[in-house]
Amino acid sequence: MKVMAFTAGLWIFVPAALILAGLMISTWQFRDSDTGKAFLLLAGSALLWVAGFIFETAARSLPSKLFFANLQFLGLCFIPLVWLYLAVSYRGWTRPARDWFLPASVPLMTNLVIWTDPLHHWFRGAPHIDSTSAPFPVLVNDYQFWFYFIHAPWGYVCILAAVLILLYGFRKMLPIYRKQTLLLLAALSLPMVVDVTYVLGYSPIQSYNLTPAVFSLSAILVAWDLFRFQLFDLRPIARHLVMESIQEGILVLDQQERIIDLNPAAERMARITAASIGKDLQEMQAWLHQVIHDLDREGKSWTEIQVGENPVLTYELHFSAIEHPSGRPIGRIITLRDNTERAELFHRIEHAATHDDLTGTLNRQRFAELATQEFQRPGRAEHHRVSMIMFDLDRFKQINDQYGHATGDEALIKVAQACPRLLRPSDIFGRIGGDEFAVILPDTSADDTARAAERLREGIEKLEFLAEGQHVWLTSSFGIYTLQNGNEPFNEVFKRVDKAMYRAKQSGGNRVVNFESLAENAPRMDN
């Protein structure tokens, strides 16, 4: 009696095995990618299933058929789990190997039960050969509770999870991603439908599972999906690698300016949630809609915007058109790049270049620039006069000599902090050098300038701080000057107010002197 014999049932399984083997060889080059590994595991498990089924069909005796049937389950038990692994890899959600140990325990236990079945009959009850229902001997497995309540349900749970993972975010996918997903779902559904009909007892050949043959068609569909769309190289379904994880915010609008896609960075920067997909941009964020339209009107494609109050965030916004292959515009892509750190660095550099590092007030260079702009402002009317105040601290050298430069620095800081509170927001205040400070007062008459200087003098006179356990008070000498007619160079104004300040010091300090009150030959006294 022959142990093996070729039967009519083999002609559909041998080509399936050859196809699976050929697919494994052709995709071996992609074994380093997660998707490539998943496909190789799927094809390898299916090949083991098909090969075992071929030998089971060809075997003549019951022990031989049972041996090869058991051999099939070494691959068959893991196929649902590998489908799940393929779906996870396809989405780019690859998990470390240790996360798969627990799910793999079920097919491992099933194989242990199968190979020890003669001891307990949990998997098969009374398997036998049926030689009447088909043109060749068919193994009737007589499956028991482990098959129906553990193996099959576990497999269907894995398949369902794979389907849900593939369908996740389907509505938001670009058309090419949807095609890929549909192909994978079709590849998954074919063997599932055939397998369910077999488990329910509706197989065309009673007790004969045709699923292994159909599985080769599924493998072809998966391979076509992977090769045609180059998923081994790019894995576009792993959308988070391009959209989800990218640092720039990406917002996609259709031609009607409805939001059709955005990534988490765009959600954070534009303050739009994924729930806004399908809604009008103007409805969700009117300010962003206005920015884009302003750029459109000005013929620009980028700008820098600031969002929020505390902290203020700076974003660089770009937008570009999306065109149909025919050239017809079909939407826009808006890109937001976080420039907050760069803007803050630029601000710090600019601040350092224009401000005094000790007191934080304007330095001499920046003060002179702003003063020049104010003095030479075109169209200045006579009743829109501008004034300048300059003062220094009396006996400041004595404070430095007696208490040290740290105390002197503290005095300068106290003055720099106190004076702006006594001035208008429009006044320009800065440190000219040493213990000298100056103020530009736009649109201020001579009388108002004198009152402002007196207010500053009194404010400084009230300042008090401790140095080496002793109370120290400050006084200061002021010079003021008001431009009466036309524009005047900053250097000329500076000389005049400087002369008035030194006259105040010469007169005993702690007073205000107007340049207009000085005699031309008034003597000058150095500090």
Residue 243: the pLDDT is 63
Residue 263: the pLDDT is 83
Q: What are phi and psi of 223, to 5 degrees?
A: -60, -40
Residue 382: the pLDDT is 54
pLDDT in tens, the chain (527 residues): 455 555 655 666 777 778 778 878 877 876 776 777 887 888 888 888 888 888 888 888 899 989 998 998 998 899 889 888 888 877 767 677 788 889 899 999 999 999 999 999 999 999 988 777 766 777 888 889 998 999 989 988 998 898 888 787 676 665 556 777 777 777 777 777 777 776 676 666 666 666 766 766 777 776 666 555 544 443 444 454 556 667 788 888 888 888 877 888 888 888 888 777 778 888 888 888 888 888 888 888 888 888 877 777 888 888 888 876 567 787 888 888 888 777 777 778 887 888 898 999 999 999 999 998 888 776 555 556 899 999 999 988 888 888 888 888 999 999 999 999 999 999 999 999 999 999 999 988 889 999 999 999 999 999 887 777 788 889 999 999 998 765 778 888 999 999 999 999 999 999 999 998 885 545 544 44
Task: Copy the structure tokens of residue 243.
Answer: 């959209």
Residue 4: the pLDDT is 54
Residue 215: the pLDDT is 65
Task: Copy the structure tokens of residue 58.
Answer: 């060809």
Residue 8: the pLDDT is 57
Model confidence pTM above 0.85? no
| 289/276 Cα distance (integer angstroms) | 14
Residue 144: the pLDDT is 93
Contact 317, 335 (CB under 8 A): yes
Residue 233: the pLDDT is 42
Parallel/antiparallel/unpaired status of strands 476-482 and 470-473 = unpaired
| 208/205 Cα distance (integer angstroms) | 5
| 159/167 Cα distance (integer angstroms) | 12
Alpha-carbon distances, residue 32 vs 29, 35, 95, 97, 271 (angstroms): 8, 9, 15, 14, 39
| 87/93 Cα distance (integer angstroms) | 9
- Residues across the chain: 527
Alpha-carbon distances, residue 427 vs 366, 374, 389, 443, 481 (angstroms): 14, 11, 11, 10, 15
Q: Which domains does the chain have, with CATH numbers?
A: 8-237 (1.20.1070.10), 243-344 (3.30.450.20), 355-517 (3.30.70.270)
Residue 1: the pLDDT is 44
Parallel/antiparallel/unpaired status of strands 387-393 and 436-441 = antiparallel
Residue 450: the pLDDT is 94
